[in-house]
Amino acid sequence: MTNPWTMKMEQFNRFTDEQRRRLDELVAAKQEDYAARQDILREGDRVNECHVILSGLAIRYKLLPDGERQIMAFLVPGDLCDAEVFILEQMDHSVAALTPTRCTVISAETMKKLLREVSCLAEALWWQTMTDLAVLRERIVDHGRRDARERLAHLLYEMLIRYRIVGHTDDEKFDFPITQEELADATGMTPVHVNRTLRQLREEGLIEMRSKTLKITDPEGLKELAQFNPNYLHLIRSEKEQGEVAQRVADLV
Amino acid sequence: MPRYYFHVRDGGGLVEDEEGRELADADVARNEALKGVRSIVSEEAKQGLVDLRGTLEVHDGARLVLSLPFSDAIELRPGDPSA
């Protein structure tokens, strides 16, 4: 099976067999496992390695002095934790595993070499960074303009699409290990409020949540409530192209 | 650390907290309960209808630790039209 990083980047650029093989080798070369709740990168760390999530789930977060936490992003398989490693002296935020998570670890030097030699990979990585920023922009819209129900609905629908991209869904059903506390820290709500809002979504027949599995029972309804426009995930490009990747992505949204 | 469960009882019935949260002690749990109710109330205020008839019940798995009526979580100063 294609590794999730290649899968994600191939939404943007189709790689040759040789390039795919090179990526596969790179992904296989050095891997590290992190336990649930273990930090992958800490604010202040000097980093000279890139981490790409292969399996599991991680968060990008900041801790405030009073102990409050803001989650800026959920990182799913195929996501790069630290694209800024080339530019920044040290991490200005932290990344932690939420569930047992496996990363591939690539030294900054290897990554730079790869980007110099394979320009379509550099483009794909740039594209990936841009779409990550677009996801972050949605969080700003959340906090500025969406009410609690819309915010939660938007996040759940977005996770459905992002898991579909890397083939981690079974129809509208997917593993959802995110706790109410983590949802609260990502949406600026409280766990009590999240719990009550999730009940509303359940009662409206939009979702079902059972033993860490989320099923979107009414995708159109949830999409409408969230006023979800998938343009920010920039999937459109691959629709223009033919072949296996285009087919996989075509039905995503 | 003990695990506390925050169940909401309101007009729609009981919303059970199946996950619970590990917190240092009952004081921290009480503070989290206050924050929880206030975030519900503030969202309702934005929509224009605040329903204070609910109660947040905090259990520690063995017993009820706190029963917090929504109305106890906020101080209301009703306007006086004659003032």
How far away is chain A from the Cα of B82, in angstroms, using its nearest Cα? 35
Measure CA of the first residue to CA of the last residue in chain B; give whole Å.
50
Count the residues in chain A. Answer: 253
d(CA B83, CA A145): 36
The pLDDT-based confidence of A144 (bands split at 50, 70, 90) is: very high
In a 3-state reduction of DSSP, which class is residue A191? Answer: helix
The helix, strand and coil proportions of chain B, stated in percent and rounded to the nearest 5, come to 30, 30, 40
How far away is chain A from the Cα of B78, in angstroms, using its nearest Cα? 25
Smallest Cβ distance to B17: which of A148, A195, A203?
A: A195
H/E stretch holding B45 reads helix B26-47
Q: Is the pLDDT of residue A47 over 90?
A: no
Residue A121 phi, psi (nearest 5): -75, -40
How far away is chain B from the Cα of A180, in angstroms, using its nearest Cα? 8
Smallest Cβ distance to A181: which of B21, B40, B56?
A: B21
Instruction: State CA A132 to chain mean position distance.
Output: 8
- CB–CB of A192 and B36 under 8 A? yes
d(CA A164, CA A170): 9
Count H helices and E strands in chain A, helices first.
Answer: 10, 10
How far away is chain A from the Cα of B19, in angstroms, using its nearest Cα? 7
Query: What is the pLDDT, as a whole number, of residue A154?
Result: 96
Rounded mean pLDDT, A135-141? 92
Q: Which residues of A touch B40 (CB under 8 A)?
A: 190, 192-193, 196
Look at residues B29, B26, B25 and name the one whose alpha carbon lies nearest to residue B37.
Answer: B29
In a 3-state reduction of DSSP, which class is residue B66? Answer: strand
d(CA A217, CA A172): 7
Q: Tokens 């599995």 — which residue?
A: A213
Contact yes or no for A182/A59 (Cβ under 8 A): yes
d(CA A209, CA B71): 30
Query: What is the pLDDT, as a whole number, of residue A252?
Result: 62
Closest residue in B to A210 (Cα) is B18
d(CA A229, CA A253): 9
Q: DSSP string covering A7-42, please?
A: HHHTTT-PPPHHHHHHHHHHHHH-EEEE-TT-EEE-
Q: Indicate the pTM of the whole model.
A: 0.89
Q: Measuring CA to CA, how many Å separate A134 from each of A70, A80, A167, A211, A232?
A: 18, 15, 21, 31, 6
Q: Which residues of B touch A181 (CB under 8 A)?
A: 19, 21
Instruction: State CA A219 to chain mean position distance.
Output: 19
Q: Which residues of B touch A196 (CB under 8 A)?
A: 8, 10, 15, 40
Query: What is the pLDDT, as a whole number, of residue A246?
Result: 59
Q: Could you report the per-residue pLDDT of A169-219, keeping only the tens digit for each? A: 888 899 999 999 999 999 999 999 999 999 999 999 999 998 789 999 999
Using alpha carbons only, give the angle B79, B80, B81 rounded to the nearest 5 degrees. 110
B residues 14-73 closer than 8 Å to A (CB): 15, 17, 19, 21, 32-33, 35-37, 39-40, 43, 46-47, 56
Closest residue in B to A145 (Cα) is B46
Q: Could you report the per-residue pLDDT of A56-105, keeping only the tens digit for each? A: 999 999 999 998 999 999 999 999 998 877 777 888 899 999 999 999 99
% residues pLDDT > 70 (chain A): 92
Look at residues A78, A76, A79, A109 and name the one whose alpha carbon lies nearest to residue A178.
Answer: A76
Smallest Cβ distance to B15: which of A179, A190, A199?
A: A199
Closest residue in B to A198 (Cα) is B15
Query: What is the pLDDT, as a whole number, of residue B61?
Result: 87
Kindly give the confidence (pLDDT) of every residue in chain B, 83 residues in length, as a single tens digit, with 9 standing for 90 and above: 899 999 999 888 899 999 999 999 999 999 999 999 999 999 999 999 999 999 999 999 899 999 999 999 999 998 887 76
Residue A224 phi, psi (nearest 5): -70, -45
d(CA A11, CA A132): 14
- CB–CB of B19 and A190 under 8 A? no
d(CA A153, CA A221): 10
